[in-house]
Structure 1
Amino acid sequence: MFSFKYMPLAAVAVLMPAGAFADDLVFRFDNNSSYTVVELYASPSDVGEWEEDILGRDVLESGESARVTIADGRRACEYDLRVVFEDGDSIEDTTDLCETESYAVTD
């Protein structure tokens, strides 16, 4: 059984002009499972389809981490995450990426 764990980012107030674009969402994705992650998706929760695979041709071996930047210009914070492992198993979860500094998948 796989599970996700995340560490909330300390709240920081930022003043932006009303017309400014949303900041990029940046978090560290940790593969603390014993399996290789071959696909990683993050889509706003109000979107009915998965966005492109974040890893592309890359994979994330067991014990590795990757810095993930979502620069889609949206103001959404709640994202659905989908992780696909080398054996074809997958898990899905929802998290607030505006409050997430790191996110980990474990066995």
Structure 2
Amino acid sequence: MTSNLRGGLAALALLAGAMPAAAQTVEFTLINNSARALHYFYTSPSTDTNWGYDLLGDDGILESGYQGTVTIGDGSDQCEYDFKFVMDDSSETVISGVDICSLNEYTIYD
């Protein structure tokens, strides 16, 4: 009986390794060290061609010199994300391939 249990556990472990990772929620600190206020912050998995919703919300603005906590909880199991920042002067910056799974903070510069 013990060998059957070990064999079943080994098969279960192999099956679990083949399954996709579970959806995740990631939090990190976003620091605005630019000279301008951040008005919109969009993210998407790098494999997606569409931007998600604005993570700052309808009335959210991250002023120059300030920081805040960002939560990405879009249901994706991906670690590699693209970021799009839209500043108060309507300038846009896109950063590709950010590993959000190992990210503790991200700083915006001019």
Task: Give the corresponding residue for 1:44.
Answer: 45
Q: TM-score, normalised by structure 2?
A: 0.76
Unaligned runs of 5+ in 2: 1-15
Task: Give the corresponding residue for 2:104.
Answer: 101
Q: Which has the larger radius of gyration?
A: 2
Q: Size of the alignment, in residue pairs?
A: 90
* Bigger share in helix: 2
Task: Give the corresponding residue for 2:87.
Answer: 85
Task: Give the corresponding residue for 1:28.
Answer: 29
Unaligned runs of 5+ in 1: 1-17
Q: TM-score, normalised by structure 1?
A: 0.78
Q: Distance in 2 between matches of 1:31 and 1:68?
A: 12
Higher relative contact order structure (alpha carbons within 8 Å, sequence separation ≥ 6): 1
By how many angstroms is 1:74 displaced? 1.4
Q: Distance in 2 between matches of 1:82 and 1:23?
A: 20
By how many angstroms is 1:93 displaced? 0.3
